Each structure stands twice: as structure tokens, then as C-alpha cells.
Structure 1
Amino acid sequence: MAAVAAELRKALTLPAALAGLAVAVLAPAALAVLYAAQGTAGSAAQAALDAAPMVTIGAIVLGVVAVSSEYGGGRQIAGTLAAMPRRRTVLAAKAATVAVLIAAAAAVAFPVALLAARLVGGTGPAPDDVVGRAAGTGVYAVLIGLIALAITTLTRNGIVPLIVLIANGSVVSVSFLLSLATPLALYLPDLAGMRMLAGDDRIAIDDALAPLPGGLVMAAWTAALLAVAAVVLGRRDA
């Protein structure tokens, strides 16, 4: 708990981490306003749901920065390991910190996006699965943030995982392209959890995994990557 508290204080003093939190909360609200103003969503709740996946961008930033900040010019990792020599404890504390911050941001992001969309318009009925999808988006964001943390621990550089994960989720999805060639791609972490983010009418892949099994597959990927990161962090030089 002391290590978690220390990592939490550290994260909240990082400008990049604060920027990630701001993106996680404000980006969905901005996009929800756009959807509501255009009238494409049909209701404020649908506009907020359609915009909610933007929280994952902030989650990726938080996951990357929590580790990459240790390997900057000042090599803060040396001081961190001097204060807490048990490296797996350090990684566990970082993972807990990232999970808590992302969960808190996601819990705030959807109500803010919903309020913003209602102020603009969108008076139609809310979808029946609004609560489940909002919660699913939060779970997905936490898992993708932890995946970002694990990959950054392996690379010791934040640029590559930041670019690859954000581009794969918002620009060109390599996982989606792979799914056109093989159904095994549906078990990649981002595609596996897709139905936690979007309803059936918002998914381009007909045979995507259902929310619960997809979430379990994504969680298994997350646990495996964190386990590999823990082993690598414990064995290599700081």
C-alpha cells in the first residue's frame, strides 16, 4: 500500500499523466457534443456511448507514462528501485495506480459526456444497454491501459507503444485487417473486448466475441503481458 501511495503521488505530479486524465474525461464530452449537435446518435445517451471509447486514448497515455517517465533523462528508475528494491512490487504498484486512475476517469467521463450531449440536444430514448456499455467501456479502458503499461515496461520507451496502440485503436486497426484473413485475430486483446465498447449495430465484425468472454480473453492477455513484464523487469539491469 505504501508503494501504491507513492506511485499515485508520483503519477499525479507528472504533466503527461495529468494530460492523459484530461483527455480521458474531456475527449468523450467533446465528441458527444459533436454527435448530439449533428443529430446522428438519436439521443444524448447514445451520443455519450458512441463517444465513450475516446477514454481509451487517455488510458493508453496513462499506462505508457507511468513507466516511460522512469526512463527519461534523469533515469528516475534508479531512485525508484533504491527506495523499493522489490521490482515486482514496483510494477504491481504502478499497475494498481494506473488501474485506479483510469477507472476514476472513466467513471467521470461518461456522466460528463452525457451531460454535455443533453445540453446540446439529443432528446431521444436511451438504449437499453446504456449502463452495461458504459461499465464495459470503463473495464476495457482499464485493461488497455494496463496492456500499455506492460508493453512500455518491456520496451523501456514510451514512443513506440504510444504510437502503435493509439494508431491501432483509432487510425488503422491492424487487428481488424488481420481478422479479414483469419478468425483467430478475434482473440487479439483489442478485438476480443470490442463488444464491451459498442453495441451490435456499431460493430463492423459480425462474429466478434460477446462482452463477457471477450472481456475474459482481454483480461487474460493483460495478465500474461504483466507477468512477462514482471519477469523481464526482475532479470535485466535497471
Structure 2
Amino acid sequence: MSAADAVAAELRKALTLPATLAGLAVAVLGPVALAALNASQGTADSAAEAALAAEPLITIGAIVLGVIAVSSEYNGGRQIASTFAAMPRRLTVLAAKAAAVAVLVAVAAAVAFPASLLVARLVAGPGPGADDVLGRAIGAGVYAVLIGLIALAITVLTRSGIVPLIVLIANGSVVSVSFLLYLVTPLARYLPDLAGMRMLAGDDRIAIDDALAPLPGGLVMAAWTAALLAVAGAVLVRRDA
């Protein structure tokens, strides 16, 4: 089986899982619903801002997709053994899963923002424009892809979806451990979620004063993602299925 075949197989496998469809629904319908709410309540200056403010919900769906891609292999009958039998090269399996997650999240992000913008305009009218709409929308998509891959890597390490789902979703939506660490040391701004925050949120929604700019922050987040995937690959190769 070639690498391309492995990616196609992982995509087919993922799309047969109800949890994957739920993650895609959260990543697409969540931002659309929130954008409509933002527009109807006048919490944003324009339809574009209402749509951009809803983009962080994509990350929740991305986390679900990253976790499910791995945790589904260990549920019930431990399908991972069959997966490794079909593709003995474990690093290829990991790369194929990562590629499948990246594709699914990128497609969800590409659909979510235009749909959110359309709904916000239908609710509130176009209104004034927003600064660098396309750049911020692309940044949100890149952030979502990277956080989905981080979720995948952590799930490989834990072999369970519960821990990464609770930790990553809570950290991004309930209480940010990274932000609490930032209150102790400014070095916490180099943690992956805070490093990439300027890709995801506008300046008025950044909780820290010295957040990294979108490009260097994205590079730091990408470095964290690569490092975690490398560790996950090393662990996957060495341990029993």
C-alpha cells in the first residue's frame, strides 16, 4: 500500500465514524450558528467581524477530529492491530492519519467561514468591512489544522480520547492553563495555543499584551506540532500495538 493509498484509506475510515461527522458538524455548523447570533445581537461591527469572531469554534471540531482519528483504533475490538497488519510501517500510518485530519479540518474551515459570513450578512446586512478578512480567516484555518494535529499526537501518547478531549477543549474554552501560566511567566506565550493566538483572534480579543505576531506565532505553533508528532511517532514505533 502506497502512502497515497494509506491517506485515502484513513479518510474513508474516518468518514464512516459517527464521531467524525459530529466533529465536522461542530466545526462547520458551530461557527455558522455563533456568527448568526453575533450578528443578531449586534456584538460585532460588521458581518465579517461576526463571522471572524465565530471562527474559534472550528478548533473544537478540529480537536474532536484529531482525537477520533486515533482513539477509534483502541475502542472495542482494538482495530489498531488490523490497521498495522494492513500497513506494517507505523510511521506511515501516523503520517496518513495526520494527513487525513489536516484535510478534514482544512475543508471544514474552508466551508465554515464563507457560510458564517453569508449567514451573518443575511441576518445583519453587510455593514462596514473588517481589516484583513481573508488573512484572518486563513489564519484561523491554519490554527485549527495545527490544533487538530496536536490533539492527534497527544491521543497517540495516551491511547485514549478522554484525556486530550477534556484537556484541550477545556483549555481552549473554559479555563486556559496556558494563560494562567502566562500570569506567572511571560515565557508561556510560546506555548502552542498562545503562540498561535494572533492567527485566530483579532487584536481586540487577545488576552495577553505581548502575543506573538501571526507569522512567528504560527511558526512556533507548527514547531510544537512537529515535535509532538515526532514524539508520538517514536512512541508508536517502540510500543506494542
The two structures share one fold, judged by TM-score above 0.5: yes
**Match status 1:4 vs 2:7:** yes
**Deviation of the 1:39 alpha carbon:** 0.5
Q: Is the 8 A contact 1:42 1:123 kept in 2?
A: no
**Deviation of the 1:83 alpha carbon:** 0.4
Find the counterpart in structure 1 of residue 168 from structure 2: 165
Find the counterpart in structure 1 of residue 111 from structure 2: 108
1:107-130 Cα shifts (integer Å, max 9, x gaps): 000001011111111432121211
Q: Give the TM-score normalised by structure 2.
A: 0.98
Equivalence map 1:108-147=2 (5 Å):
108-147=111-150
Find the counterpart in structure 2 of residue 44 from structure 1: 47
**Match status 1:63 vs 2:66:** yes
1:16-59 Cα shifts (integer Å, max 9, x gaps): 01110111000000000110001010111000000011000000
1:163-210 Cα shifts (integer Å, max 9, x gaps): 100000000000011111101100000000000011111212110000
* CA distance in 2: counterparts of 1:21 and 1:201, whole angstroms: 28
Q: How many percent identity over aligned positions?
A: 83
Structure 1: any 5+ residue segments left out of the alignment? none
Find the counterpart in structure 2 of residue 95 from structure 1: 98
Greater Cα shift, 128-137 or 114-123: 114-123
Out of 167, 170, 177, the residue aligned to residue 180 of structure 2 is 177
- Pair 37,179 (structure 1): closer, same or farther in 2 beyond 3 Å: same
Q: Give the TM-score normalised by structure 1.
A: 0.99
Out of 191, 194, 208, the residue aligned to residue 191 of structure 1 is 194
**Match status 1:148 vs 2:151:** yes
Runs of 4+ aligned structure 1 residues displaced above 2 Å come to none
User: RMSD across aligned C-alpha pairs, in angstroms?
Assistant: 0.6
* CA distance in 2: counterparts of 1:203 and 1:129, whole angstroms: 16
Find the counterpart in structure 1 of residue 18 from structure 2: 15
Structure 2: any 5+ residue segments left out of the alignment? none
**Deviation of the 1:65 alpha carbon:** 0.1
* CA distance in 2: counterparts of 1:227 and 1:204, whole angstroms: 30
**Deviation of the 1:88 alpha carbon:** 0.4
AA aligned opposite 1:147 = I
